Amino acid sequence: MLVWLKGYRRAWLAGDMGAGVVVAMMMIPQGMAYALVAGLPPVAGIYASIVPPLLYALFGTSSTQSVGPMAIISLMTASVLAPLAAPGSALYGVLAAQLALLSGLVLLACGLLRVGFLANFFSRPVMNGFTIGSSVLIAFDQLGTLLGARPPHWHGPSAALGLGALALLVLARRYGARLLQRCGLPPTAADVGARLAPMLLVAGSIAVVGALGLERMGVRVIGQVPAGLPGLHLGVSNAHWQELAKPALLIGFMCFLISMSGAQALAARKGEKLLTNAELVGLGAANVGSFLSGGFPVTGSLSRSAVNFAAGSNTQLSGVIAALLLGAALVLPTGWLALLPLPVLSATIIVAVLGMLEATTLRTAWRYDRADALALLATAGGVLLLGVEAGVMLGLLLSLGATIWRESRPHIAVLGRIPGTEHFRNIERYDAETRSGVLLLRVDAGLFFGNVEAVTAHVEEELDLHPGTRELVLVLSAVNAIDTSALFGLLELNGELVRRGVRLHLAEVKGPVLDRLKQSSLLERLSGQVFLSTANAWNTLSTGDESWSV
């Protein structure tokens, strides 16, 4: 907690202050825009940009992470709340904050339980598919606001403003940095400067609307933004805990995945180590903070964090400064914001989310592992066709299904002895000798519920191929673990082999595995013996196979 503050050096201050100013300027349009995506009044996005980063700075370990509203999490928030309350209603705002509270508690609990390994639940292609699906969904949803009417209709002045803003933003994204470099800025500063285009556009569009009186021509504007800091907010709706519980699990999970994937990329570039469980606590505290200040679920935003990094942030202080500046902006008069046209905010959203798209993952996966590419496309399609929650679940199941599938057919080798030695090798690869009546099988994977059926079926097939077998030795040198399901599988295999008149032996059982097996009834019930080495088993069983019968 606050590790960065203890060793703070004065030399870092300039970088942190500069980055703080830049991030604050990015946050004003982004916060308001993502509040709109979440179905909330724009000021909620500013609220969610003040307390959360302060709390993240207390507990989090990334020096560059910018915590606050984020497009995909806002989309998930809207999709959870839409069936429960009308957007814009007081209940909707209460439920949004409550969802942040629950998501925060989920994250805090995961951090305190130290289950940060959960970040490994999504494969990279599935995460990429999820991002693509969500981005397209968000962009598509914004078309109506961009054009001022539901497509295929449009409202002339709104569409002109929106499409104009879209064109300017795309141009700024593509040529802004180059232009600023030509004007004499060093490359990094030019990159950062180009990122401020949305803020400039917001200011410019307010001036245009004011000068031309566009709001009287039907262009929708955000209207009065209440001045003053957010008050302490403790309202919850008792009726909706249950409906929010499951979505909060999913949102907490996605907050963590999104935040970690961005923060890790930047941490690698700074040679910084992130503490996964501290990150969970930091994000959890940030979301609880968002609840307390009347916000909605928040997470680390890669686009802002990357700018924070490029703008010279050295420690979490830059995030603290950005938050304080946003607080200050709310204390100053906010009347000038009222004429901010919604089509322009929509344009910033569309450019931001389409900027998250990248084709490298799909292209690489398509060439390298077609199944991963299909999982990516299925997840993207799932988000688009079934919605964002179903998309997350589909992504989870595809990632995990791939794992189970990969593990469901472990390699099993028939072993023989290299003549004249005590070495035992796969008879398909080596010229190794076997003895009739004795079958040595080496299982090359840990045994667990996902493969135990396949292993026992495979063992029985090998017995069918070697009909004279009386002694079966499972060589467990590569088996690091045997779970409860596999234990039952081995007990059943033992019984089945007794019915077939075959004894089951184990060899080369690893120490920790054997210790655990001693806690079960397998070793007592085993029809054969446990051998220290395969050579022991070979020598003992080759001489004595007449001595035992059913």
Tell me which residues touch its own copies (CB under 8 A).
Answer: 117-125, 246, 264, 268, 271, 361, 364-365, 367-369, 372-373, 390, 393, 396-397, 399-408, 411, 446, 448-451, 453-454, 480-481, 483-485, 487-488, 492, 496, 499, 516, 519-521
CA 10 to chain centroid:
35
- Three-state SS for 299? strand
371 and 398 Cβ atoms separated by less than 8 Å: no
Minimum gap (Å) between residue 85 Cβ and its own copies: 19
Minimum gap (Å) between residue 436 Cβ and its own copies: 23
For its own copies, the closer CB: 2 or 268 = 268
For its own copies, the closer CB: 122 or 130 = 122
For its own copies, the closer CB: 404 or 418 = 404
Minimum gap (Å) between residue 430 Cβ and its own copies: 16
Minimum gap (Å) between residue 268 Cβ and its own copies: 6
Q: What distance in Å separates the CA atoms of residue 61 and residue 263, rounded to the nearest whole number?
A: 9
For its own copies, the closer CB: 480 or 543 = 480
For its own copies, the closer CB: 157 or 446 = 446
Q: What distance in Å separates the CA atoms of residue 307 and residue 189, rounded to the nearest whole number?
A: 10
Q: What distance in Å separates the CA atoms of residue 524 and residue 245, rounded to the nearest whole number?
A: 46
For its own copies, the closer CB: 39 or 450 = 450
For its own copies, the closer CB: 430 or 488 = 488
Minimum gap (Å) between residue 200 Cβ and its own copies: 34
Tokens 């949004």, located at residue: 96
Q: What distance in Å separates the CA atoms of residue 46 and residue 229, rounded to the nearest whole number?
A: 10
Minimum gap (Å) between residue 453 Cβ and its own copies: 6
For its own copies, the closer CB: 520 or 542 = 520
DSSP code for 173: I
The amino acid present at 447, given as its one-letter code, is L
- Cite the DSSP H helix spans in 293-432: 302-310, 317-331, 342-354, 360-368, 370-386, 388-407
Minimum gap (Å) between residue 123 Cβ and its own copies: 4
346 and 47 Cβ atoms separated by less than 8 Å: no
For its own copies, the closer CB: 76 or 479 = 479
Paired tokens of 261: 């994937």
Minimum gap (Å) between residue 506 Cβ and its own copies: 16
266 and 309 Cβ atoms separated by less than 8 Å: yes
CA 467 to chain centroid:
51
Tokens 């507990």, located at residue: 59
Q: In what order do the strands lie in the sheet with 471-475?
A: 424-426, 412-417, 438-443, 471-475, 503-507, 530-531
The amino acid present at 371, given as its one-letter code, is A
Q: What distance in Å separates the CA atoms of residue 262 and residue 408, rounded to the nearest whole number?
A: 32
Minimum gap (Å) between residue 395 Cβ and its own copies: 11
